[in-house]
Amino acid sequence: MNEVEEQPYREMVSAQDAAQVDAWAADLFMDFAKRLGVGRAIASFCAATGLDARGFQRAFLVGGGPDHVVGIDTAGELAAPIFELPKAIAGLRRIEPDAQAKLVDFLVAHRDVMSYVA
C-alpha cells in the first residue's frame, strides 16, 4: 500500500464541499471505530477537532445523537454506538464556525485509515 502524502491529500479534501467532507468524515469515523475501537476513534476525532469529552458530548447531542448512549467504556474512554458517531459531525457543524477546517484536519490526520466507498 502506498502512503498518501499529506499536502496533496489536504488540498484535495479542502477543495470539496461541506457535504462531501461530512460524508468522508462519517465514513472515516465509523471505519476507524470498527478497525481500532470506538474509544480510539472518538479520542482521535476529539484531538483533530479540538473537543474535550464535554465538547464531544455536546456536538453529539446537538447533532441529534441520543443522550443516553454516550458513556465511558471499561478502558475509561468515551463510547457511543458506531452507527451514531456521525451525529457528532453534524453537531460540530452547528457549534463550530471552523468545522470544515477541523473535519479536514481529521481526514488528513487519519488518511491511512480512510477507505472510500462508491
Query: Which pLDDT tens digits describe the chain residue by residue (118 residues)?
Result: 456 788 999 999 999 999 999 999 999 999 989 988 999 999 999 999 999 999 999 999 999 999 899 988 888 889 999 999 999 999 999 999 999 999 999 999 988 776 544 3
Rounded distance between C-alpha atoms, residue 111 and residue 40, angstroms:
15
**Radius of gyration of the chain from Cα atoms?**
13
Please give the share of the chain, as a percent, with pLDDT higher than 70: 93
Q: Is the dihedral of CA 69, 103, 44, 53 positive or negative?
A: negative
Look-up of cell digits 470539496? 16
Cβ atoms of 64 and 84 closer than 8 Å: no
Structure-derived torsion over alpha carbons of residues 56, 58, 62, 63, reported in degrees to the nearest 10: 10
> Cα-flanking dihedrals φ and ψ of residue 39, to 5°?
-60, -45
Q: 98: helix, coil or strand?
A: coil
pLDDT at 19: 97
Look-up of cell digits 479536514? 104
Of the candidates 27, 94, 37, 98, the residue with the CA atom closest to the CA atom of residue 61 = 94
pLDDT at 36: 86
